[in-house]
Amino acid sequence: MSSTGAAGQKGLDMILHPPARLQIAAVLAAVSEAEFAKLREVTGVSDSVLSKHLAALSEPGYIKLRKAPANGRQRTWASLTRKGRKAFTEHVAALNRIMSTAGLADTADQKV
């Protein structure tokens, strides 16, 4: 079981595993915060789907959401929490371990 998220094979965090959530975490790991529209652009999902993904990441404390006016409209900003950064780092490490294992299994004679 992952120390920060839902149980997964080989340390994968099932909260972060869906591609859109992984993309969101990757963007947020690189910046202090990102606006909803930017996350929608990166993930390529609709507003409602993005809202559901953000809620799924917010519930376990992986991201923090804040609403603030910008250019006369209410905007939503997301940032990765310390817990979320740790979960993302561990999830990426698990993916790297899987990829490393896959690289070793390229020959038919090799046993893992």
Closest CA to 90 of 25, 20, 18, 19: 25
- Which whole-number Å values give the CA distances from 81 to 25, 39, 57, 69, 95, in the listed order? 10, 16, 10, 22, 21
Provide the pLDDT for residue 71.
Answer: 85
Q: Is the dihedral of CA 37, 43, 47, 49 positive or negative?
A: negative
- Look-up of token digits 């080989």: 10
Residue 20 burial (CB < 10 Å; 0-12/13-18/19+)?
buried
- With 0.85 as the threshold, say if the pTM is over it: no
The conformational region for residue 94 under phi > 0 = left, psi -120 to 50 = alpha, else beta, is alpha
| Among 93, 91, 71, residue whose Cα is nearest residue 80 | 91
| Positions of the chain with pLDDT lower than 50, given as ranges | 1-4, 7, 105-108, 112
At residue 36, the pLDDT reads: 97
